[in-house]
Amino acid sequence: MCSTCCPRWWRDFVGRGPEMRVLVAMSGGVDSSVAAALLLDAGHEVVGVTMRLWGGESDTGCCSVSEVDDARRVAHRLGIDHHVFNLGDDFDRYVVEPYVADHAAGRTPNPCVECNRHLKFDKLLRRADALGFDAVATGHHARRVRDGDRWRVARGVDAAKDQSYVLSMLTQRELERTWLPVGELTKAEVRARAAAMDLPTAAKPDSQDVCFITRAAGREDFLRRRIPLHPAEVLDTAGTVVGAVDAVELVTIGQRKGLDLAGGDARRYVVDVDVAARVVTVGSVDDLLQREVRIRDLVWSAEPAEGPVFVQVSAHGEVAPARLTGDLLRWDMPHKRVAPGQSVVFYRDEFVLGGGIAR
């Protein structure tokens, strides 16, 4: 990559300091493939690593056997070493078991956030330190930028692919040693660079599913083999029985489809899930709105936020203004109810301030 064809942001990036040893988390997708290639072109010593996380069935995402093979082929094409770290026990402990427990309690978990929190930006960083690497890089579509004397995660250039939401748990400790090389590129630019370098992942589709749940069997089969699933009555807000569900543990706040409700054509949404009582409550879109939500497990990239913030409650959801006081978030305007267990992420302009989990 020459100085005349590189965009200025990349020339500035590669000009910072001497060559560094970078461990690139290669998931087998095009983004992490290009991340490794960009750092290699920048003159850094690059080693690829794929985390073997799930030992059960998998036909999608970064847990499948084919992903490891794809990452290895990319590393071979780039001429870099590639290793596989077996972190299956940690994945079970920090991601799979909490995912199952959350469903059993009527919560809606976000396993990708927990994988980032405990695996990619904890266990992997610790391994990198032990092996003498200066930094870890991933293929996330987000940027690491300076905000005064602090590092921040900022939104990726490609708004449709922005992944800053799932990196809300990163603190200064992690951000000092984390690189996000593709955050300044659109997805189209990433694929174009991969094609120009003849990388085998150039045209590979993005993974959209929970990696440890197969497309064929699905979430219900996965959970049924691990916890009992219970039928439940569906009530309206007046307490009238309007239907039933086969498994209350599979129902989430805001759900509309798959309820098979009687009594009119008006759209109704799940507004409450009570696993212990085996009751699901549905209501109108107005019943779905709330003014405040409590947040647990708050983590800040630097200093804690107080007062006005902008909030995002799903990976590609819109931001909404609110005010944070301690662990209480109060929306400026009534907002769709947040399912317990979902990540709630706070922004200032393009910067992630931190995040937590809805109670």
| Burial class, 279, CB count within 10 angstroms (exposed 0-12 / middle 13-18 / buried 19+) | middle
Catalytic residue among 62, 63, 112, 115: 115
Instruction: Report the alpha-carbon distance of residue 85 to residue 52 in Å, rounded.
Output: 6
Instruction: Report the alpha-carbon distance of residue 334 to residue 345 in Å, rounded.
Output: 18
Residue 241, classed as helix, strand or coil, is strand
E-strand stretches of 54-158: 82-86, 135-137, 142-147, 150-155
Instruction: Please confirm, yes or no, whether 211 is among the known catalytic residues.
Output: yes
Task: Give the chain's end-to-end CA distance (angstroms, integer).
Answer: 48
Structure token digits, residue 45: 């010593």
DSSP strand pairing (45-52 vs 82-86) = parallel
Catalytic residue among 62, 63, 112, 211: 211
DSSP strand pairing (320-325 vs 343-348) = unpaired
DSSP strand pairing (135-137 vs 279-283) = unpaired
In this structure, the number of other CB atoms found within 10 A of the CB of residue 343 comes to 25
Residue owning tokens 């955050």: 183
Q: Which of 93, 81, 87 is nearest to 62 (CA)?
A: 87
Instruction: Please confirm, yes or no, whether 6 is among the known catalytic residues.
Output: no
Beta-carbon contacts of residue 121 (< 8 Å; ≥ 6 apart): 136, 167, 169, 170, 174, 178
Residue owning tokens 């998931």: 27
CB 95 within 8 A of CB 243: no
Q: Which of 232, 281, 278 is nearest to 254 (CA)?
A: 281
Residues designated catalytic? 115, 211
